[in-house]
Structure 1
Protein backbone atom coordinates (compact mmCIF):
# COMPACT_ATOMS: atom_id res chain seq x y z
CA UNK A 1 0.00 0.00 0.00
CA UNK A 2 1.31 3.43 -0.92
CA UNK A 3 -0.15 6.81 0.02
CA UNK A 4 2.19 9.80 -0.39
CA UNK A 5 1.17 12.82 1.68
CA UNK A 6 2.12 16.39 0.78
CA UNK A 7 2.68 18.54 3.87
CA UNK A 8 2.30 21.82 1.96
CA UNK A 9 -1.15 21.04 0.54
CA UNK A 10 -2.12 18.72 3.42
CA UNK A 11 -3.50 16.16 0.98
CA UNK A 12 -2.85 12.64 -0.20
CA UNK A 13 -1.80 12.81 -3.85
CA UNK A 14 -2.35 9.21 -4.76
CA UNK A 15 -3.57 5.98 -3.33
CA UNK A 16 -2.19 2.67 -4.55
CA UNK A 17 -2.88 -0.69 -3.00
CA UNK A 18 -2.24 -4.18 -4.21
CA UNK A 19 -1.44 -7.77 -3.50
CA UNK A 20 0.96 -10.06 -5.33
CA UNK A 21 1.43 -13.82 -5.20
CA UNK A 22 4.66 -15.28 -6.55
CA UNK A 23 5.44 -18.96 -7.05
CA UNK A 24 8.21 -20.59 -9.12
CA UNK A 25 5.95 -21.09 -12.14
CA UNK A 26 3.55 -18.11 -11.92
CA UNK A 27 3.03 -14.53 -10.73
CA UNK A 28 -0.33 -12.94 -10.07
CA UNK A 29 -1.31 -9.51 -8.82
CA UNK A 30 -4.27 -7.22 -8.29
CA UNK A 31 -3.63 -3.49 -7.92
CA UNK A 32 -5.86 -0.48 -7.34
CA UNK A 33 -4.08 2.69 -8.51
CA UNK A 34 -4.59 6.34 -9.37
CA UNK A 35 -6.71 7.18 -6.29
CA UNK A 36 -8.90 4.13 -6.86
CA UNK A 37 -9.73 4.93 -10.49
CA UNK A 38 -7.78 2.09 -12.17
CA UNK A 39 -8.13 -1.58 -11.22
CA UNK A 40 -5.37 -3.78 -12.65
CA UNK A 41 -5.11 -7.59 -12.53
CA UNK A 42 -2.26 -9.55 -14.09
CA UNK A 43 -1.17 -13.15 -14.33
CA UNK A 44 2.02 -14.61 -15.81
CA UNK A 45 2.74 -18.32 -16.17
CA UNK A 46 6.24 -19.65 -16.85
CA UNK A 47 6.86 -22.84 -18.81
CA UNK A 48 9.97 -24.84 -19.59
CA UNK A 49 12.24 -23.45 -16.85
CA UNK A 50 11.27 -19.82 -17.62
CA UNK A 51 12.18 -19.99 -21.32
CA UNK A 52 8.55 -19.62 -22.37
CA UNK A 53 6.01 -17.43 -20.60
CA UNK A 54 2.49 -16.26 -21.21
CA UNK A 55 0.74 -13.38 -19.53
CA UNK A 56 -2.63 -11.70 -19.35
CA UNK A 57 -3.49 -8.28 -17.99
CA UNK A 58 -6.98 -6.91 -17.43
CA UNK A 59 -7.42 -3.27 -16.53
CA UNK A 60 -10.61 -1.39 -15.74
CA UNK A 61 -11.00 2.37 -15.60
CA UNK A 62 -13.69 2.62 -12.94
CA UNK A 63 -14.56 6.23 -13.79
CA UNK A 64 -15.05 5.52 -17.52
CA UNK A 65 -16.24 1.91 -17.24
CA UNK A 66 -13.67 0.83 -19.83
CA UNK A 67 -11.97 -2.57 -19.85
CA UNK A 68 -8.74 -3.45 -21.64
CA UNK A 69 -7.44 -7.00 -22.01
CA UNK A 70 -3.87 -7.71 -23.10
CA UNK A 71 -2.46 -11.20 -23.69
CA UNK A 72 1.08 -11.94 -24.68
CA UNK A 73 4.01 -14.22 -24.50
CA UNK A 74 7.79 -14.43 -24.43
CA UNK A 75 10.03 -17.09 -25.89
CA UNK A 76 13.73 -17.10 -24.98
CA UNK A 77 15.20 -18.96 -27.94
CA UNK A 78 18.79 -18.99 -26.65
CA UNK A 79 21.10 -16.81 -24.55
CA UNK A 80 21.12 -14.14 -27.26
CA UNK A 81 17.65 -14.15 -28.84
CA UNK A 82 14.23 -13.36 -27.36
CA UNK A 83 10.88 -13.07 -29.15
CA UNK A 84 7.92 -11.26 -27.59
CA UNK A 85 4.35 -10.68 -28.80
CA UNK A 86 1.22 -9.13 -27.35
CA UNK A 87 -2.35 -8.63 -28.54
CA UNK A 88 -4.84 -6.28 -26.91
CA UNK A 89 -8.62 -6.07 -26.91
CA UNK A 90 -8.47 -3.02 -29.15
CA UNK A 91 -7.08 -5.29 -31.87
CA UNK A 92 -3.44 -4.19 -31.90
CA UNK A 93 -0.72 -6.81 -32.38
CA UNK A 94 2.85 -5.91 -31.35
CA UNK A 95 5.92 -8.13 -31.81
CA UNK A 96 9.58 -7.72 -30.84
CA UNK A 97 12.72 -9.62 -31.77
CA UNK A 98 15.68 -8.84 -29.47
CA UNK A 99 19.09 -10.27 -30.43
CA UNK A 100 22.38 -9.64 -28.60
CA UNK A 101 25.32 -9.36 -30.95
CA UNK A 102 27.92 -8.77 -28.23
CA UNK A 103 27.51 -8.45 -24.46
CA UNK A 104 26.54 -4.75 -24.64
CA UNK A 105 25.32 -4.55 -28.25
CA UNK A 106 21.91 -5.66 -29.44
CA UNK A 107 19.58 -5.28 -32.39
CA UNK A 108 15.84 -4.95 -31.98
CA UNK A 109 13.18 -5.36 -34.64
CA UNK A 110 9.63 -4.54 -33.65
CA UNK A 111 6.41 -4.39 -35.59
CA UNK A 112 2.95 -3.10 -34.83
CA UNK A 113 -0.18 -4.08 -36.71
CA UNK A 114 -3.54 -2.45 -36.17
CA UNK A 115 -6.34 -4.23 -38.09
CA UNK A 116 -8.56 -1.16 -37.67
CA UNK A 117 -6.11 0.82 -39.81
CA UNK A 118 -5.83 -1.42 -42.85
CA UNK A 119 -5.43 1.60 -45.12
CA UNK A 120 -2.04 2.34 -43.51
CA UNK A 121 1.20 0.40 -43.75
CA UNK A 122 2.08 -1.53 -40.55
CA UNK A 123 4.80 0.05 -38.43
CA UNK A 124 8.16 -1.71 -38.45
CA UNK A 125 11.03 -0.39 -36.35
CA UNK A 126 14.68 -1.40 -36.44
CA UNK A 127 16.95 -0.53 -33.58
CA UNK A 128 20.59 -0.93 -32.71
CA UNK A 129 21.70 -0.38 -29.13
CA UNK A 130 25.33 0.12 -28.28
CA UNK A 131 26.26 0.47 -24.64
CA UNK A 132 29.67 1.13 -23.19
CA UNK A 133 28.19 1.29 -19.71
CA UNK A 134 24.75 0.75 -18.24
CA UNK A 135 24.50 4.42 -17.20
CA UNK A 136 25.09 5.95 -20.65
CA UNK A 137 23.67 3.73 -23.40
CA UNK A 138 23.60 4.80 -27.01
CA UNK A 139 20.86 3.68 -29.33
CA UNK A 140 19.78 4.28 -32.90
CA UNK A 141 16.24 3.57 -34.14
CA UNK A 142 14.97 3.50 -37.71
CA UNK A 143 11.24 3.38 -38.48
CA UNK A 144 9.35 2.73 -41.64
Structure 2
Protein backbone atom coordinates (compact mmCIF):
# COMPACT_ATOMS: atom_id res chain seq x y z
CA UNK A 1 0.00 0.00 0.00
CA UNK A 2 1.27 3.49 -0.78
CA UNK A 3 2.12 6.03 1.89
CA UNK A 4 -1.51 6.11 2.97
CA UNK A 5 -1.98 5.23 6.61
CA UNK A 6 -5.68 4.46 6.20
CA UNK A 7 -7.42 2.02 3.91
CA UNK A 8 -11.11 1.41 3.40
CA UNK A 9 -12.56 -1.08 1.00
CA UNK A 10 -15.81 -2.77 0.25
CA UNK A 11 -16.31 -5.87 -1.84
CA UNK A 12 -19.04 -8.19 -2.94
CA UNK A 13 -18.14 -11.83 -3.46
CA UNK A 14 -18.68 -13.67 -6.75
CA UNK A 15 -21.87 -15.45 -5.70
CA UNK A 16 -23.45 -12.24 -4.46
CA UNK A 17 -24.48 -13.73 -1.11
CA UNK A 18 -22.36 -11.46 1.10
CA UNK A 19 -20.75 -8.03 1.20
CA UNK A 20 -17.60 -6.95 3.09
CA UNK A 21 -16.36 -3.59 4.27
CA UNK A 22 -12.97 -3.18 5.93
CA UNK A 23 -10.83 -0.48 7.53
CA UNK A 24 -7.07 -0.60 8.00
CA UNK A 25 -4.93 1.88 9.93
CA UNK A 26 -1.18 1.91 10.61
CA UNK A 27 -0.61 3.56 13.97
CA UNK A 28 3.11 4.28 13.44
CA UNK A 29 3.97 4.21 9.70
CA UNK A 30 7.74 4.71 10.12
CA UNK A 31 8.18 1.50 12.13
CA UNK A 32 4.91 -0.36 11.34
CA UNK A 33 4.69 -1.03 15.07
CA UNK A 34 0.93 -1.47 15.32
CA UNK A 35 -1.80 -2.02 12.78
CA UNK A 36 -5.48 -1.93 13.64
CA UNK A 37 -8.12 -3.31 11.34
CA UNK A 38 -11.84 -3.98 11.31
CA UNK A 39 -14.09 -5.83 8.92
CA UNK A 40 -17.84 -6.17 8.66
CA UNK A 41 -19.43 -8.92 6.60
CA UNK A 42 -23.13 -9.15 5.84
CA UNK A 43 -24.60 -12.39 4.51
CA UNK A 44 -27.71 -11.81 2.43
CA UNK A 45 -28.61 -15.51 2.54
CA UNK A 46 -28.67 -15.81 6.37
CA UNK A 47 -29.10 -12.06 7.12
CA UNK A 48 -26.22 -12.25 9.63
CA UNK A 49 -23.62 -9.54 10.26
CA UNK A 50 -20.12 -10.46 11.45
CA UNK A 51 -17.77 -7.82 12.84
CA UNK A 52 -14.09 -8.68 13.21
CA UNK A 53 -11.48 -6.50 14.91
CA UNK A 54 -7.77 -7.24 14.81
CA UNK A 55 -4.35 -5.85 15.48
CA UNK A 56 -0.80 -6.58 14.39
CA UNK A 57 2.42 -5.73 16.18
CA UNK A 58 5.97 -6.07 14.88
CA UNK A 59 8.20 -7.34 17.70
CA UNK A 60 11.24 -6.79 15.51
CA UNK A 61 11.77 -6.48 11.74
CA UNK A 62 11.44 -10.27 11.35
CA UNK A 63 8.77 -11.24 13.91
CA UNK A 64 5.09 -10.28 13.89
CA UNK A 65 2.18 -11.02 16.24
CA UNK A 66 -1.42 -10.84 14.99
CA UNK A 67 -4.61 -11.12 17.06
CA UNK A 68 -8.26 -10.93 16.00
CA UNK A 69 -11.72 -11.54 17.46
CA UNK A 70 -15.26 -11.36 16.13
CA UNK A 71 -18.73 -10.88 17.55
CA UNK A 72 -19.50 -14.62 17.12
CA UNK A 73 -16.95 -15.41 19.85
CA UNK A 74 -14.07 -16.62 17.67
CA UNK A 75 -10.63 -15.44 18.77
CA UNK A 76 -7.37 -16.24 17.05
CA UNK A 77 -3.71 -15.31 17.29
CA UNK A 78 -0.47 -16.07 15.50
CA UNK A 79 3.21 -15.37 15.73
CA UNK A 80 5.18 -15.34 12.50
CA UNK A 81 8.95 -15.21 12.06
CA UNK A 82 10.83 -14.67 8.79
CA UNK A 83 13.95 -16.76 9.34
CA UNK A 84 15.20 -16.38 5.75
CA UNK A 85 14.13 -13.87 3.10
CA UNK A 86 10.51 -14.75 2.17
CA UNK A 87 10.63 -17.95 4.27
CA UNK A 88 8.20 -17.89 7.19
CA UNK A 89 7.60 -20.02 10.28
CA UNK A 90 4.14 -19.52 11.82
CA UNK A 91 2.44 -20.79 14.99
CA UNK A 92 -1.29 -20.04 15.21
CA UNK A 93 -4.26 -20.79 17.42
CA UNK A 94 -8.01 -20.28 17.36
CA UNK A 95 -10.75 -20.83 19.89
CA UNK A 96 -14.49 -20.35 20.18
CA UNK A 97 -15.02 -18.40 23.39
CA UNK A 98 -18.75 -19.18 23.40
CA UNK A 99 -18.18 -22.97 23.28
CA UNK A 100 -15.60 -23.73 25.95
CA UNK A 101 -16.26 -27.47 25.56
CA UNK A 102 -14.74 -27.39 22.03
CA UNK A 103 -10.98 -27.76 21.99
CA UNK A 104 -8.96 -24.91 20.54
CA UNK A 105 -7.21 -25.32 17.19
CA UNK A 106 -3.43 -24.99 16.98
CA UNK A 107 -1.40 -24.89 13.79
CA UNK A 108 2.17 -24.80 12.57
CA UNK A 109 3.16 -23.62 9.12
CA UNK A 110 6.42 -23.38 7.24
CA UNK A 111 6.50 -21.43 3.98
CA UNK A 112 9.74 -21.73 1.99
CA UNK A 113 10.73 -19.56 -0.96
CA UNK A 114 13.99 -20.15 -2.84
Q: TM-score, normalised by structure 1?
A: 0.67
Residues 45 and 118 from structure 1, CA distance in 2 versus in 1: closer, same or farther, beyond 3 angstroms? Answer: same
SS in structure 2 at match of 1:131: coil
Q: Structure 1: state its 5+ residue gaps.
A: 1-21, 133-144
Aligned to 2:8: 28
Aligned to 1:120: 102
How many Å apart are 1:45 and its aligned residue? 1.0
Map residues 1-144 of structure 1 onto 2, 5 A cutoff.
24-34=4-14, 36-49=16-29, 50-132=32-114
Q: TM-score, normalised by structure 2?
A: 0.82
**Which of structures 1 and 2 has the bigger CA Rg?**
1
State the structure with bigger RCO (CA 8 A, min sep 6), 1 or 2.
Answer: 2
How many Å apart are 1:118 and its aligned residue? 1.4
After superposition, the C-alpha distances for 1:64-110 in whole angstroms (9 at most, x for unaligned) are 21111111011122211011111011101110100122224332110
**How many residue pairs align between the two structures?**
111
Q: Structure 2: state its 5+ residue gaps.
A: none
